[in-house]
């Protein structure tokens, strides 16, 4: 039953995230927002919704390691697994905004997150509030610097402009499925951890984080299929920023997060920082401003090794 609960919970989360993304993208398209901005903001926030709901539920129900590990594991999966698969399928030509805005913002968010948690193993409400302020600053920067960056017009990569009734319907269904999925997933994950004789950390970093990263993979593959590669990489970088500043910020505002399994900080967090820093040199080597099959294999290989060593 625990395995069935994991599958059902992840299904509801993925479906809820998909419906939420459709409603959010529809609203954005109706407002004529740039596709690049949509990828870095609206789609990133929508695909981070499963992480947000799971983290809030886990922290409020007394499972802080599950909430924390979900974000660390999801960010590692976004860059190692999801980005690795995407660029293995189709090389991405990286624009200068990646190393001028996107990557520095993701790195800044990661380091601030680490600084807040490493001193006392607690992400307080005050620190969560600061992270949320940084999120607002990030959104302003994105909207200011990228508002005129509009890619060539092709089929909409993330969805279509829907009517008001459909937008509200998808928004309502998406929210309900996210709530239902989080309830089922957290109970099943905790029971499974007990059954396996492992802590919340292992389950959250592996099973839960991979499951909550499925919306990012789906959105990125759809973008690749529709030749909107800029949105694909923007979605992944933006999602990692939202996972830290929005998900952890909002979660700790509602309920302070105290990490009990220190391996989350001393090991897993360092892996997240490592793979975040690694993305920059990969953009310049071996082929400048391009991420292709070689880099994809490197990222997937690192992710597999990360999972392998975690179970040792």
Query: For residue range 262-284, what is the model confidence (pLDDT) as tens digits?
Result: 999 999 999 999 999 999 999 99
| pLDDT, position 25 | 76
* Alpha-carbon gap, residue 143 to 213, rounded angstroms: 25
Q: What percent of the chain has pLDDT over 90?
A: 43
* Alpha-carbon gap, residue 246 to 132, rounded angstroms: 6
Query: For residue range 159-168, what is the model confidence (pLDDT) as tens digits?
Result: 566 787 888 8
* Alpha-carbon gap, residue 119 to 298, rounded angstroms: 32
| pLDDT, position 231 | 64
The mean per-residue pLDDT over the stretch 288-296 comes to: 92
Joined tokens for residue 71: 């974000």
Which CATH code fits 2-310? 1.20.1420.30
Alpha helices (H) in 80-124, listed in sequence order: 83-89, 97, 103-118
Residues 6+ apart with CB under 8 A from 270: none
Given a cut of 80, whether residue 226 has pLDDT beyond it is no
Whether the CB-CB separation of 248 and 56 falls below 8 Å is answered with no
Quick one: which of 215, 237, 213 has its CA closest to 40?
237
Whether the CB-CB separation of 276 and 107 falls below 8 Å is answered with yes
Q: Name the 3-class secondary structure at 122.
A: strand
Say if residue 286 is preceded by a cis peptide, omega within 30 of 0: yes
In sequence order, the β-bridge partners of residue 14 are: none
Residue with tokens 């459909």: 166
| pLDDT, position 163 | 80
Task: Indicate the pTM of the whole model.
Answer: 0.86
Quick one: which of 7, 307, 28, 45 has its CA closest to 181?
7
Q: What percent of the chain has pLDDT over 70?
A: 91
In sequence order, the β-bridge partners of residue 291 are: 92
Joined tokens for residue 267: 């090991």
pLDDT: is 67 or 27 the higher one?
67
Give the torsion through C-alpha atoms of 108, 111, 115, 118, to 10 deg. 160
Phi, psi of 122 (to 5 degrees): -130, 135
Helix axes 229-242, 103-118, angle to 10 degrees: 20
Q: For the beta carbon of residue 244, count every other beta carbon within 10 angstroms.
A: 26
Given a cut of 60, whether residue 116 has pLDDT beyond it is yes
Lowest mean pLDDT across 44-53, 80-89, 119-128: 44-53
């Amino acid at each position: 039953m625990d395995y069935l609960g994991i599958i059902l919970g992840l299904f509801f989360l993925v479906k809820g995230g998909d419906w939420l993304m459709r409603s959010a993208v529809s609203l954005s398209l109706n407002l004529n927002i740039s596709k690049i901005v949509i990828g870095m903001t609206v789609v990133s926030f929508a695909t981070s919704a499963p992480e947000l709901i799971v983290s809030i539920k886990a922290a409020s129900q007394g499972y802080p390691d599950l909430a924390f590990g979900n974000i660390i594991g999801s960010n590692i999966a976004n860059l190692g697994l999801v980005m690795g698969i995407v660029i293995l399928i189709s090389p991405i030509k990286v624009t200068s905004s990646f190393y001028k805005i996107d990557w520095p913002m993701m790195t800044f968010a990661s380091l601030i997150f680490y600084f807040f948690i490493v001193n006392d193993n607690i992400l307080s409400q005050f620190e969560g509030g600061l992270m949320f302020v940084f999120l607002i600053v990030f959104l302003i920067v994105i909207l200011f610097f990228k508002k005129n960056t509009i890619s060539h017009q092709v089929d909409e990569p993330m969805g279509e402009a829907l009517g008001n009734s459909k937008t509200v319907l998808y928004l309502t269904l998406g929210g309900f499925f996210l709530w239902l999925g989080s309830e089922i997933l957290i109970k099943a994950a905790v029971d499974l951890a007990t059954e396996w004789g492992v802590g919340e950390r292992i389950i959250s970093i592996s099973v839960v984080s991979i499951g909550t990263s499925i919306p990012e993979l789906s959105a990125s593959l759809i973008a690749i299929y529709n030749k909107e590669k800029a949105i694909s990489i923007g979605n992944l970088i933006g999602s990692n920023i939202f996972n830290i500043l929005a998900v952890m910020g909002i979660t700790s505002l509602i309920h302070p997060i105290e990490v009990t399994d220190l391996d989350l900080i001393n090991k897993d967090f360092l892996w997240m920082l490592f793979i975040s820093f690694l993305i920059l040199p990969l953009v310049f080597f071996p082929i400048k401003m391009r991420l292709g099959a070689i880099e994809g294999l490197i990222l997937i290989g690192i992710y597999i090794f990360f999972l392998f060593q975690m179970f040792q």
